[in-house]
Structure 1
Protein backbone atom coordinates (compact mmCIF):
# COMPACT_ATOMS: atom_id res chain seq x y z
CA UNK A 1 0.00 0.00 0.00
CA UNK A 2 1.34 3.42 -0.91
CA UNK A 3 1.00 6.27 1.57
CA UNK A 4 -1.22 9.21 0.69
CA UNK A 5 0.62 11.71 -1.48
CA UNK A 6 0.35 15.17 0.12
CA UNK A 7 0.45 16.76 -3.32
CA UNK A 8 -2.70 14.87 -4.32
CA UNK A 9 -4.47 16.28 -1.28
CA UNK A 10 -3.37 19.84 -2.08
CA UNK A 11 -4.53 19.50 -5.69
CA UNK A 12 -7.86 18.08 -4.52
CA UNK A 13 -8.39 20.95 -2.08
CA UNK A 14 -7.45 23.59 -4.65
CA UNK A 15 -9.49 22.12 -7.48
CA UNK A 16 -12.61 21.65 -5.40
CA UNK A 17 -12.24 25.10 -3.86
CA UNK A 18 -12.32 26.66 -7.31
CA UNK A 19 -15.21 24.44 -8.43
CA UNK A 20 -17.21 25.16 -5.26
CA UNK A 21 -16.57 28.89 -5.59
CA UNK A 22 -17.90 28.82 -9.15
CA UNK A 23 -21.00 26.82 -8.16
CA UNK A 24 -21.72 29.00 -5.13
CA UNK A 25 -21.21 32.15 -7.19
CA UNK A 26 -23.76 30.95 -9.73
CA UNK A 27 -26.35 29.57 -7.29
CA UNK A 28 -25.90 31.34 -3.95
CA UNK A 29 -29.38 32.90 -3.93
CA UNK A 30 -31.09 29.52 -4.37
CA UNK A 31 -29.02 27.54 -1.83
CA UNK A 32 -30.79 26.41 1.34
CA UNK A 33 -29.80 27.96 4.65
CA UNK A 34 -26.47 26.63 5.87
CA UNK A 35 -26.40 25.69 9.56
CA UNK A 36 -23.22 26.18 11.60
CA UNK A 37 -23.12 22.55 12.73
CA UNK A 38 -22.88 21.01 9.24
CA UNK A 39 -19.12 20.45 9.54
CA UNK A 40 -19.18 19.12 13.12
CA UNK A 41 -19.50 15.40 12.17
CA UNK A 42 -16.13 15.73 10.42
CA UNK A 43 -14.69 17.10 13.66
CA UNK A 44 -16.13 14.17 15.60
CA UNK A 45 -14.56 11.74 13.13
CA UNK A 46 -11.26 13.64 13.43
CA UNK A 47 -11.31 13.27 17.22
CA UNK A 48 -12.11 9.55 16.91
CA UNK A 49 -9.26 8.98 14.47
CA UNK A 50 -6.82 10.97 16.60
CA UNK A 51 -7.75 8.94 19.68
CA UNK A 52 -7.43 5.76 17.65
CA UNK A 53 -4.01 6.85 16.40
CA UNK A 54 -2.83 7.63 19.92
CA UNK A 55 -4.07 4.30 21.28
CA UNK A 56 -2.63 2.30 18.38
CA UNK A 57 0.70 4.10 18.67
CA UNK A 58 0.94 3.21 22.36
CA UNK A 59 -0.05 -0.41 21.76
CA UNK A 60 2.42 -0.83 18.90
CA UNK A 61 5.21 0.78 20.90
CA UNK A 62 4.54 -1.56 23.83
CA UNK A 63 4.41 -4.56 21.52
CA UNK A 64 7.67 -3.59 19.77
CA UNK A 65 9.34 -3.04 23.11
CA UNK A 66 8.95 -6.68 24.10
CA UNK A 67 10.11 -6.00 27.62
CA UNK A 68 10.03 -8.84 30.14
CA UNK A 69 6.73 -9.27 31.99
CA UNK A 70 8.22 -8.02 35.27
CA UNK A 71 9.04 -4.62 33.74
CA UNK A 72 5.67 -4.21 32.03
CA UNK A 73 3.66 -4.30 35.18
CA UNK A 74 0.71 -6.45 36.16
CA UNK A 75 -1.31 -5.97 32.96
CA UNK A 76 0.14 -7.50 29.81
CA UNK A 77 -0.22 -5.61 26.54
CA UNK A 78 -2.76 -7.07 24.13
CA UNK A 79 -1.14 -7.86 20.79
CA UNK A 80 -2.30 -5.80 17.83
CA UNK A 81 -3.95 -7.75 15.04
CA UNK A 82 -2.25 -7.07 11.68
CA UNK A 83 -5.63 -6.92 9.91
CA UNK A 84 -6.78 -4.21 12.33
CA UNK A 85 -3.76 -2.10 11.40
CA UNK A 86 -4.42 -2.69 7.70
CA UNK A 87 -8.07 -1.67 8.07
CA UNK A 88 -7.13 1.42 10.03
CA UNK A 89 -4.62 2.36 7.33
CA UNK A 90 -7.34 2.10 4.67
CA UNK A 91 -9.71 4.14 6.86
CA UNK A 92 -7.01 6.77 7.30
CA UNK A 93 -6.40 7.04 3.57
CA UNK A 94 -10.10 7.30 2.77
CA UNK A 95 -10.59 9.89 5.51
CA UNK A 96 -7.69 11.96 4.23
CA UNK A 97 -9.22 12.16 0.75
CA UNK A 98 -12.75 12.83 2.04
CA UNK A 99 -11.46 15.49 4.43
CA UNK A 100 -9.45 17.14 1.65
CA UNK A 101 -12.43 17.12 -0.72
CA UNK A 102 -14.73 18.67 1.86
CA UNK A 103 -12.05 21.15 2.88
CA UNK A 104 -11.97 22.30 -0.73
CA UNK A 105 -15.75 22.73 -0.77
CA UNK A 106 -15.77 24.68 2.51
CA UNK A 107 -12.90 26.88 1.35
CA UNK A 108 -14.71 27.56 -1.94
CA UNK A 109 -17.81 28.60 0.00
CA UNK A 110 -15.70 30.76 2.30
CA UNK A 111 -14.03 32.45 -0.65
CA UNK A 112 -17.44 33.57 -1.87
CA UNK A 113 -19.25 34.46 1.36
CA UNK A 114 -16.29 35.98 3.21
CA UNK A 115 -16.01 39.07 1.02
CA UNK A 116 -19.82 39.32 0.71
CA UNK A 117 -20.47 39.76 4.46
CA UNK A 118 -20.90 43.53 4.15
CA UNK A 119 -23.39 43.37 1.26
CA UNK A 120 -25.38 40.15 1.90
CA UNK A 121 -27.29 39.49 5.11
CA UNK A 122 -27.04 35.67 4.93
CA UNK A 123 -23.32 35.75 4.26
CA UNK A 124 -22.43 36.37 7.93
CA UNK A 125 -23.93 33.11 9.20
CA UNK A 126 -22.68 31.25 6.12
CA UNK A 127 -19.17 32.50 6.85
CA UNK A 128 -19.35 30.96 10.33
CA UNK A 129 -20.60 27.71 8.77
CA UNK A 130 -17.76 27.70 6.24
CA UNK A 131 -15.12 28.38 8.90
CA UNK A 132 -16.43 25.59 11.16
CA UNK A 133 -16.57 23.21 8.21
CA UNK A 134 -13.08 24.11 7.02
CA UNK A 135 -11.56 23.73 10.50
CA UNK A 136 -13.26 20.36 11.06
CA UNK A 137 -12.25 19.13 7.58
CA UNK A 138 -8.63 20.20 8.12
CA UNK A 139 -8.66 18.43 11.50
CA UNK A 140 -9.92 15.27 9.78
CA UNK A 141 -7.11 15.42 7.22
CA UNK A 142 -4.51 15.93 9.96
CA UNK A 143 -5.89 13.10 12.12
CA UNK A 144 -6.08 10.77 9.12
CA UNK A 145 -2.48 11.49 8.11
CA UNK A 146 -1.36 10.87 11.70
CA UNK A 147 -3.27 7.58 11.85
CA UNK A 148 -1.75 6.55 8.53
CA UNK A 149 1.75 7.31 9.80
CA UNK A 150 1.12 5.24 12.94
CA UNK A 151 0.03 2.29 10.77
CA UNK A 152 3.27 2.24 8.78
CA UNK A 153 5.58 -0.69 9.32
CA UNK A 154 8.99 0.54 10.44
CA UNK A 155 11.86 -0.50 8.18
CA UNK A 156 13.77 -3.51 9.41
CA UNK A 157 17.53 -3.96 9.39
CA UNK A 158 17.17 -6.25 6.35
CA UNK A 159 15.54 -3.44 4.35
CA UNK A 160 18.51 -1.10 4.83
CA UNK A 161 21.26 -3.41 3.56
CA UNK A 162 20.93 -4.82 0.04
CA UNK A 163 21.29 -8.60 -0.34
CA UNK A 164 24.71 -9.97 -1.27
CA UNK A 165 23.51 -11.08 -4.73
CA UNK A 166 22.32 -7.55 -5.55
CA UNK A 167 25.62 -5.94 -4.53
CA UNK A 168 27.28 -7.60 -7.21
Structure 2
Protein backbone atom coordinates (compact mmCIF):
# COMPACT_ATOMS: atom_id res chain seq x y z
CA UNK A 1 0.00 0.00 0.00
CA UNK A 2 1.39 3.37 -0.98
CA UNK A 3 1.25 6.40 1.32
CA UNK A 4 -1.65 8.79 0.85
CA UNK A 5 -0.71 11.91 -1.06
CA UNK A 6 -2.05 15.17 0.39
CA UNK A 7 -2.49 16.64 -3.10
CA UNK A 8 -5.00 13.93 -3.99
CA UNK A 9 -6.92 14.63 -0.79
CA UNK A 10 -6.99 18.35 -1.57
CA UNK A 11 -8.28 17.58 -5.07
CA UNK A 12 -11.06 15.41 -3.67
CA UNK A 13 -12.05 18.16 -1.24
CA UNK A 14 -12.14 20.78 -4.01
CA UNK A 15 -14.25 18.58 -6.32
CA UNK A 16 -16.73 17.81 -3.55
CA UNK A 17 -16.88 21.49 -2.55
CA UNK A 18 -17.75 22.50 -6.11
CA UNK A 19 -20.38 19.76 -6.40
CA UNK A 20 -21.95 20.69 -3.06
CA UNK A 21 -22.00 24.39 -3.87
CA UNK A 22 -23.63 23.68 -7.25
CA UNK A 23 -26.21 21.32 -5.76
CA UNK A 24 -27.20 23.79 -3.04
CA UNK A 25 -28.22 26.54 -5.47
CA UNK A 26 -31.59 24.94 -6.32
CA UNK A 27 -31.99 22.87 -3.14
CA UNK A 28 -31.01 25.01 -0.15
CA UNK A 29 -34.47 26.44 0.55
CA UNK A 30 -36.02 22.95 0.81
CA UNK A 31 -33.32 21.40 3.02
CA UNK A 32 -33.65 21.08 6.80
CA UNK A 33 -31.05 22.77 8.98
CA UNK A 34 -27.69 21.13 9.50
CA UNK A 35 -27.33 19.09 12.70
CA UNK A 36 -24.60 20.30 15.03
CA UNK A 37 -23.76 16.74 16.10
CA UNK A 38 -21.32 16.23 13.23
CA UNK A 39 -18.78 18.54 14.86
CA UNK A 40 -18.18 16.63 18.12
CA UNK A 41 -18.53 13.25 16.40
CA UNK A 42 -15.86 13.91 13.79
CA UNK A 43 -13.67 15.66 16.36
CA UNK A 44 -13.78 12.59 18.62
CA UNK A 45 -12.92 10.36 15.65
CA UNK A 46 -9.92 12.58 14.91
CA UNK A 47 -8.85 12.47 18.53
CA UNK A 48 -9.15 8.67 18.58
CA UNK A 49 -7.06 8.30 15.43
CA UNK A 50 -4.40 10.65 16.76
CA UNK A 51 -4.17 8.70 20.02
CA UNK A 52 -4.06 5.40 18.12
CA UNK A 53 -1.20 6.72 16.02
CA UNK A 54 0.69 7.92 19.05
CA UNK A 55 0.34 4.58 20.85
CA UNK A 56 1.08 2.54 17.72
CA UNK A 57 4.27 4.47 17.09
CA UNK A 58 5.39 3.87 20.68
CA UNK A 59 4.64 0.17 20.35
CA UNK A 60 6.39 -0.19 16.99
CA UNK A 61 9.49 1.51 18.37
CA UNK A 62 9.23 -0.71 21.48
CA UNK A 63 9.35 2.10 23.96
CA UNK A 64 9.55 1.06 27.62
CA UNK A 65 6.20 0.17 29.16
CA UNK A 66 4.54 -0.82 25.87
CA UNK A 67 3.72 -4.23 24.44
CA UNK A 68 4.87 -5.19 20.96
CA UNK A 69 2.22 -4.64 18.31
CA UNK A 70 0.93 -7.35 15.99
CA UNK A 71 1.70 -6.73 12.30
CA UNK A 72 -1.90 -7.43 11.25
CA UNK A 73 -3.15 -4.80 13.71
CA UNK A 74 -0.81 -2.25 12.14
CA UNK A 75 -2.07 -3.15 8.67
CA UNK A 76 -5.66 -2.67 9.84
CA UNK A 77 -4.81 0.70 11.36
CA UNK A 78 -3.10 1.76 8.13
CA UNK A 79 -6.23 0.78 6.17
CA UNK A 80 -8.39 2.72 8.64
CA UNK A 81 -6.12 5.74 8.26
CA UNK A 82 -6.32 5.64 4.47
CA UNK A 83 -10.10 5.28 4.49
CA UNK A 84 -10.49 8.08 7.04
CA UNK A 85 -8.26 10.38 5.02
CA UNK A 86 -10.28 9.91 1.84
CA UNK A 87 -13.65 10.03 3.61
CA UNK A 88 -12.63 13.05 5.66
CA UNK A 89 -11.47 14.86 2.51
CA UNK A 90 -14.80 14.16 0.79
CA UNK A 91 -16.83 15.38 3.77
CA UNK A 92 -14.54 18.37 4.23
CA UNK A 93 -15.31 19.29 0.63
CA UNK A 94 -19.05 18.91 1.19
CA UNK A 95 -18.96 21.11 4.28
CA UNK A 96 -16.68 23.64 2.53
CA UNK A 97 -19.17 23.92 -0.33
CA UNK A 98 -22.00 24.34 2.16
CA UNK A 99 -20.01 26.99 4.04
CA UNK A 100 -19.23 28.92 0.85
CA UNK A 101 -22.84 28.82 -0.30
CA UNK A 102 -24.26 29.97 3.04
CA UNK A 103 -21.61 32.70 3.28
CA UNK A 104 -23.20 34.26 0.21
CA UNK A 105 -26.63 34.24 1.89
CA UNK A 106 -25.66 35.87 5.18
CA UNK A 107 -26.73 39.39 4.26
CA UNK A 108 -29.91 38.47 2.36
CA UNK A 109 -32.07 36.93 5.06
CA UNK A 110 -33.20 38.44 8.32
CA UNK A 111 -33.61 34.97 9.75
CA UNK A 112 -30.84 33.19 11.62
CA UNK A 113 -30.96 30.02 9.50
CA UNK A 114 -28.08 30.90 7.13
CA UNK A 115 -25.96 32.05 10.08
CA UNK A 116 -26.63 28.83 11.97
CA UNK A 117 -25.88 26.69 8.92
CA UNK A 118 -22.75 28.74 8.19
CA UNK A 119 -21.31 28.18 11.66
CA UNK A 120 -22.23 24.50 11.77
CA UNK A 121 -20.86 23.83 8.28
CA UNK A 122 -17.67 25.75 9.07
CA UNK A 123 -17.16 23.87 12.33
CA UNK A 124 -17.82 20.57 10.59
CA UNK A 125 -15.30 21.51 7.89
CA UNK A 126 -12.65 22.20 10.53
CA UNK A 127 -13.42 18.92 12.29
CA UNK A 128 -13.05 17.06 8.97
CA UNK A 129 -9.70 18.76 8.34
CA UNK A 130 -8.59 17.58 11.79
CA UNK A 131 -9.74 14.07 10.90
CA UNK A 132 -7.69 14.10 7.70
CA UNK A 133 -4.62 15.35 9.59
CA UNK A 134 -5.07 12.68 12.26
CA UNK A 135 -5.50 10.01 9.60
CA UNK A 136 -2.29 11.09 7.87
CA UNK A 137 -0.51 11.01 11.24
CA UNK A 138 -1.84 7.51 11.97
CA UNK A 139 -0.69 6.35 8.55
CA UNK A 140 2.75 7.83 9.22
CA UNK A 141 2.92 6.08 12.60
CA UNK A 142 2.17 2.71 10.98
CA UNK A 143 5.43 2.78 9.02
CA UNK A 144 7.93 0.13 9.98
CA UNK A 145 11.20 1.74 11.07
CA UNK A 146 14.32 0.90 9.11
CA UNK A 147 16.51 -1.63 10.81
CA UNK A 148 19.73 -0.05 12.11
CA UNK A 149 21.73 -3.02 10.77
CA UNK A 150 20.41 -2.50 7.22
CA UNK A 151 21.17 1.22 7.17
CA UNK A 152 24.93 0.67 6.97
CA UNK A 153 24.77 -1.82 4.07
Q: TM-score, normalised by structure 2?
A: 0.90
Give the match's secondary structure for 1:115: helix
Q: Distance in 1 between the 2:91 and 2:121 partners?
A: 10
Asked if residue 145 in structure 1 is aligned to residue 136 in structure 2, the reply is yes
Conserved? CA contact 2:13–2:89, under 8 Å:
yes
Q: Distance in 2 between the 1:5 and 1:60 partners?
A: 23
Conserved? CA contact 1:113–1:127, under 8 Å:
yes
Match of 1:165 in 2: none
Deviations 1:18-63 (A, max 9, x none): 00000111210011121222333111110110111111122222x1
Q: Distance in 2 between the 1:158 and 1:60 partners?
A: 17
The CA deviation at 1:159 is: 7.0
Give the match's secondary structure for 1:78: coil
Conserved? CA contact 1:40–1:132, under 8 Å:
no
Which runs of no fewer than 5 residues in structure 2 stay unpaired?
A: none
C-alpha RMSD of matched pairs (Å): 1.7
Conserved? CA contact 2:16–2:97, under 8 Å:
yes
Residues 116 and 60 of structure 1: CA distance in aligned 2, closer, same or farther (over 3 Å): same
Which runs of no fewer than 5 residues in structure 1 stay unpaired?
A: 66-71, 162-168
Conserved? CA contact 1:37–1:129, under 8 Å:
no
Q: Based on CA coordinates, which of the two structures has the bigger radius of gyration?
A: 1
Q: Distance in 1 between the 2:79 and 2:45 partners?
A: 15
For these two proteins, the number of residue pairs brought into alignment is 150
